Copies of this chain bind each other. A is one copy, B any other.
Amino acid sequence: MYVGIDVGGTNIRIASFEELNPSGKRKVIELKTLNHYVKDFNNICKVISDLTKYQVSGIGIDIPGVLNKAKTQILNANNLKSWQGQSIKNDLENKFNCKVVLENDATTAALGEALFGKGVGKDFLFIIWGTGIGGTFVHLINNQVYTISSELGHQIVEWGGVLDTCGQKGCLEVYCGGKGIEKRYGKPAKDLTENEWKEVEQYFAHGLLNILTIYPSELVVFSGSVALNQKNRLANIETIIRDRLKIFHVPKLLLSQYGNDVALYGALGLLKK
């Protein structure tokens, strides 16, 4: 059995797969994140044992944070402070005596799309538009998938604009991220009026146009709660970009094939590399 784990600030999702391919048989179990490393680790281990009866061939796991270069340790995890400095890779290896691959969450989700979703066989940009806004550029070179992490949510769309938690002013994320929207409008994204959405869409279109001119992509695939729950927004944003972007064609803007599951598939995909 193979195990894929998607660790988020709110939930931890754990899936078992019979093959190195998500189209086969799989089970998914969801846990609440306690943000207490030892308790979270023990809970994860219990689920893995239950799902696999200790017959584990490999574990792929993603984390919402920055890893060290060797990808063994968590250097920084803003929404998961108690995991910082922990060696989850070694801890899982010692417990289950199998191959464990650790990766950043945005990169893992992009890999899921690249290996099993709408990005198969293609170069594309994967954007997570959720609480925050992040992205990963995916390249196919000699049939190998290469990923490059982007902090595209921290580009500045208003010089000297609203202060972001990162310390910068006027970041795209402050105007369009789920958390930024809630702070700015005093309500969650789902409750915005059409006029409020128009503002958000314009900021997002501005940011996306900048991304496309700086790093041209023919396909952009979206995941994340805001994008997945507000499906008509992408069409509106595409309309604005079609009007404003003159130097080349507007690329395809698609929603991820697997929604939030794409990160679990990516975690499985980590074991294929």
Contact = CB atoms under 8 A, between A and B. Distances in A.
Contact of A168 (B146, B149, B156, B244): B244
Interface string A164-202: 001111000000000000000000000000000000001
Nearest to A153: B213
Contact of A209 (B141, B152, B156): B156
A167 B246 CA distance: 6
A148 interface: yes
A162 B258 CA distance: 41
Interface residues of A, number: 31
A150 interface: yes
Interface string A133-160: 0000100010000101111101111010
A245 interface: yes
Contacts of A206: 156, 159
Contacts of A225: none
A210 B157 CA distance: 9
A90 B80 CA distance: 59
A258 to B, nearest CB: 25
Given A148-B215, A215-B215, A247 B154 contact: yes
B247 A155 contact: no
A130 B166 CA distance: 33
A210 B141 contact: no
A214 interface: yes
A213 B141 contact: no
A76 B267 CA distance: 43
Nearest to A123: B148
Interface in A200-251: 202, 206, 209-211, 213-216, 244-248
Contacts of A214: 150-152, 155, 210-211, 214-215
B210 A155 contact: yes
Contacts of A148: 215-216
A146 B148 CA distance: 14
Contacts of A211: 214
A181 to B, nearest CB: 19
Given A166-B246, A246-B166, A216 B159 contact: no
Interface of A: 137, 141, 146, 148-152, 154-157, 159, 166-169, 202, 206, 209-211, 213-216, 244-248
7 contacts: A151-B247, A154-B213, A155-B214, A156-B213, A167-B246, A169-B244, A211-B214
